[in-house]
Amino acid sequence: MADVKQPVERPLSPHLQIYRPQMTAISSILSRITGNALIVGVVLAVWWLLAAASGPNYFAYVNAVATSWFGDLVFALSLLAVWYHYLAGLRHLWFDAGKGLEVETAELLGWGCIIGSVVLTAITIVLI
């Protein structure tokens, strides 16, 4: 048995002074967050469609919510999530082909997904 007289003082797990989050982990987390956040936009759109089928009074109420600043924000963030998911899916197809697996390339592709989704969202909003 080892003779332990004085315990070694060290952190029990990596923390932010030692460990830097990697872009591949961040992009994976963002993909999961945006995928779940898309539910909010889908629920608002389905609510709007159901209200359109329900009658003019209820539709006027739901349409006011969907076209308010809240609805615009939800749909704009949903658009951002759709573009991010699309680009992240292309990135994963590239990875599945066995390409771009080097650390530098994977980080560039992660940044490309983030920056590309913001740019494509802005272009889509301007065009619509």
Domain extent, residue 72, equals 24-127
Q: Distance between CA atoms of 22 and 91, rounded to whole angstroms?
A: 16
Domain presence at residue 11: no
Q: Give residue 6's pLDDT.
A: 72
Q: Distance between CA atoms of 32 and 24, rounded to whole angstroms?
A: 13
Q: Give residue 70's pLDDT.
A: 97
Domain presence at residue 16: no
For 108-118, b/e burial (b = at least 16 CB within 10 A) is: ebbeebbebbe
Q: What is the pTM of this model?
A: 0.83
* CATH number, position 121: 1.20.1300.10
What is the gyration radius of the CA atoms in the chain, in angstroms? 22
| Residue whose C-alpha is closest to residue 120's, from 76, 89, 72 | 76
Q: Give residue 21's pLDDT.
A: 81
pLDDT in tens, the chain (128 residues): 566 667 767 666 666 667 778 898 999 999 999 999 999 999 999 999 999 999 999 999 999 999 999 999 999 999 999 999 999 999 999 999 999 999 999 999 999 999 999 999 999 999 98
Domain tally for the chain?
Answer: 1
Domain presence at residue 43: yes
